Chain A
């Protein structure tokens, strides 16, 4: 296996075929419908049983700017973003030369023949495609011609690479929900392009695909859809949100699933989704709902979290459960709104003024996005606290191969909530009056009643100001000290309910530590390093605050490389703070340019230090 994942450029020799191990990048203009063609290719390859991933590198724009889509095909299942492009399809006159430069030596360059690139490279194979001609001949009405024109490259690639036409038809049928007219129109363009290529092109490149059985039982899904579905199976009842890329599709997917799955027989809703006027309202609404006993959440990205800061502090201090999805994009400021980063870790962990420390969960793939979405409610209600789920644009908006989602393996944990009869029993059994912020169990978690509990004595006054165990206003220094210490204890005494780190160890001196979506590239980078003689152990952190295993892992390794997609190595900083005794063992490998990290970057960064 090792030599097959070599990252050197493939040299085109007719004698050697390169099968199921290359990337296709399509350069087009956003808003022209190329996404349908790209997804069709992705799905068709997936349906052929070949491991694939799709990365959309798109502009913050509605229509008219350059956009790229890269499909990685890898028989070993390594599916993170690569820096190399073996096959490039140029549909955008504005980027045609840039796109041609991307192609690896010996690679393939397809271009719409009306673009007429100047000075075709001689070290690559080039194929023109009569895109406009075939679109005109397709019989599509003029307004749809630009859209179906993108199907031409699907057909030409199908011929050149050997993509199964049945699989393409199945992908189109899925995309257009079996609407025969749309499926036929697009499929006919694919087929005529296939025939045109068959009659007019001489295959001079080594790339091709062959069916495998590596995707059977798997699905293709994006992380935002997975998160929305997970939240529904977590019993979400209240969603307040404000549109922001890249979290918008999470909230929209929630609305769709809730409308389908969570209505009573009389059509009444068992949930509320409110598009708020801003993120300030979104978080405060969710806090109101969480306080009143609903499973409440909001979905946003970094700029939204910035606006939510004060509310997050209130939820932390007043001890209100609420789930916050941060689908991270590139900051600071408006930054790169449509690119990915793990840049909000420190800021979310310590969100708001004063002494705070929040729970963060780090899903690495759609299956964890689903699982953490339902688990986050259990954790938030158990801890009576805000819980962040730190997704990112790469996970949220790109298509990933995933296992079918697994039904929650435990019943919903609603935490220490006292309804009318619970409160009565509580006071009888304990022989003392209930107090909202009394730590009677010694785990730092008090018992709460929720608005709507009609038993006299159940009501209390919640405030963001200093309060005593009975929720009464207090400015007493001793009381304040006791309160904030108890809240801290609440987090640390209950860390065991958070997702544990995942370790893969064979007793090596060199350890790797990552979190979230870096995992995809890390798996491949470890294989690359192993091929170069560096065998590593691996720990993937899935929650903050850290479990004890994390400290033990640092203790067991001479050097631990902490790999993450941000500028300053935020997780490395947290580790050094939490484990000062191991601080000198921690080496940060961090980079941010808006793209998911590549395995090659990670491997080279670590190897250069070994």
Chain B
């Protein structure tokens, strides 16, 4: 018998169409951890909506959650598309799948502005430092000096998705590695419960175009250089059943999310405080100097107002279920408004004459 979650669904209910991504692509691992996380959290697939742009990353949503609505839009425009859609029904949970080119090149402006607006959305950047669909050009996140078969050596400094996110005022910023399923899944769960925009930069090796052993985006490099910021576990308020390992009380830091769920941080190599924005920036900067891949929850702020707060949208009544009675003002209202315009009535009296 297949394992059944609290709402009576099996893993099968979270699957999508068969993947057409390359065998061994890191993106497949990301998809499978999203599906696992939602299954474990017993999220109804119909309550989830998927968005993506263009690229290998953006093809990926087809291969998960076929019971959920999805919109595969234009290159770089996923954040804008998701903004319009999610406003229509604030009770839906959005997952945006993007890539390094989609986010850090053609869509950089939208990425930073959707962060600024704090749209409630799990924003996953499947980051492999290379353009796959167009067959192996440098992505803006590729490290300086990386050598690719067809394009030689990359002469430019990379863009760090997490640094950009923090600089733009993101309320949740994490980095992980597609080859670390446990951390990835835990971060997805935490992001899913975050009230606001949650950026997860997932180093996701491209097996076809960027898997040279010396590349930061290869499996080999990442395994050797990954420096987890802290071991972290996420416990949704209603269930602790999937807790992977017990926490030592002295090692635990609690971050309470708006929906009542809690993120616990176990500090392993540093005493990083993820509510401290400066500390997050310093930690990333230090990781450059040390040449390590810093993973974990880098920054979180659970108090920042979301776009829905700012727009003052009803929490219980989705906009897209409102009918004419609410949307079209009355005939009397129009008459009143007509009377407010400057009218051509004949002048009266002569009181002010020169």
| A binding-site residues for B, Cβ under 8 Å | 43, 46-49, 155, 158-159, 164-171, 174, 187, 191, 194-195, 198, 211, 213-221, 229, 232-238, 240, 261-262, 264, 266-272, 274, 276-278, 280-282, 284-296, 310-311, 314, 401, 404-405, 407-408, 411-412, 419, 450-456, 458-465, 472-473
Contacts and interface: CB of A to CB of B under 8 A. Distances in A.
B353 interface: yes
Interface string B76-112: 1101111111111101100000000000000001100
Interface in B7-40: 17
A233 B341 contact: no
B319 interface: yes
Contacts of A296: 84
Most buried by A among B83, B335, B348: B83
Interface in B61-82: 61-62, 66-74, 76-77, 79-82
A472 B86 CA distance: 23
B344 A290 contact: no
8 contacts: A237-B319, A237-B322, A269-B312, A280-B77, A285-B83, A451-B320, A459-B66, A461-B62
Nearest to B333: A261
B241 interface: no
Given A220-B341, A296-B84, A452-B89, A407 B314 contact: no
B3 interface: no
Interface string B230-260: 0000000000000000000000000000000
A281 to B, nearest CB: 4
Most buried by A among B47, B313, B320: B320
A453 B321 CA distance: 10
Interface in B314-354: 314, 318-322, 324, 326-329, 331, 333-335, 337-338, 341-354
B87 A238 contact: yes
Nearest to B51: A288
A221 B117 CA distance: 35
Nearest to B110: A281
The 7 closest A-B pairs by CB, nearest first: A215-B344, A288-B84, A235-B327, A292-B88, A289-B84, A284-B80, A293-B320
A43 B342 contact: yes
B322 to A, nearest CB: 6
Contact of B346 (A213, A405, A461): A213
Most buried by A among B47, B80, B313: B80
Contacts of B345: 47, 216
Contact of B69 (A272, A277, A419, A451): A451
B82 A288 contact: yes
A277 B61 CA distance: 26
B318 A404 contact: no
Nearest to A278: B109
A288 B351 contact: no
A461 B72 contact: yes
B311 interface: yes
A461 B311 contact: no
B81 A233 contact: no
A237 to B, nearest CB: 5
A311 B89 CA distance: 22
Given A47-B344, A219-B343, A289-B85, A272 B311 contact: yes
A345 to B, nearest CB: 25
Contacts of A280: 76-77, 80, 109-110
B72 A289 contact: no
Most buried by A among B67, B74, B346, B354: B354
B304 interface: no
A407 B334 contact: yes
Given A288-B84, A292-B320, A296-B84, A452 B92 contact: yes
A51 to B, nearest CB: 9
Contacts of B88: 237-238, 288-289, 292-294, 450-452
Contacts of A169: 352
Contacts of A46: 342, 344
B277 interface: no
Given A211-B347, A405-B334, A284 B73 contact: yes
Interface string B195-222: 0000000000000000000000000000
B72 A49 contact: no
Interface of B: 17, 44, 46-47, 49-51, 61-62, 66-74, 76-77, 79-89, 91-92, 109-110, 113, 117, 311-314, 318-322, 324, 326-329, 331, 333-335, 337-338, 341-354
A291 B328 contact: no
A266 B326 CA distance: 13
A195 B62 CA distance: 79
B338 A277 contact: no
A158 B342 contact: no
A48 B342 CA distance: 12
B347 A285 contact: no
Nearest to B81: A288
Contacts of B86: 288, 292
B328 A412 contact: yes
A286 B324 contact: no
Contacts of A198: 354
A217 B344 CA distance: 6
B347 A166 contact: yes
B348 A166 contact: yes
A371 B67 CA distance: 40
A293 B62 CA distance: 22
A22 B1 CA distance: 90
Contacts of A295: 327
A272 B77 contact: no
Contacts of B77: 280-281, 284, 311
Given A296-B84, A412-B324, A450-B320, A456 B46 contact: yes
A401 to B, nearest CB: 7
Nearest to A461: B70
A240 B352 CA distance: 47
A166 B314 contact: no
Contacts of A266: 314
A237 B313 CA distance: 11
Contact of A284 (B61, B74, B346): B74
B322 A270 contact: yes
A289 B49 CA distance: 13
B85 A292 contact: yes
Contacts of B326: 264, 270
A411 B81 contact: no
A268 B354 contact: no
B341 A167 contact: no
Most buried by B among A43, A236, A405, A461: A461
B350 A287 contact: no
Contacts of A238: 84, 87-88, 319
A233 B334 contact: yes
B329 A233 contact: yes
B320 A49 contact: no
Given A47-B342, A49-B344, 15 more contacts: A211-B346, A219-B341, A266-B314, A268-B312, A272-B313, A281-B77, A281-B79, A284-B74, A288-B83, A294-B84, A401-B344, A407-B334, A451-B320, A461-B66, A463-B71
B107 to A, nearest CB: 9
A166 B311 contact: no
Contact of A219 (B74, B311, B322, B338): B338
A294 B80 CA distance: 15
A610 B114 CA distance: 60
A310 B346 CA distance: 52
Contacts of B81: 284-285, 287-288, 291
Nearest to A449: B69
Contacts of A164: 347, 350, 353
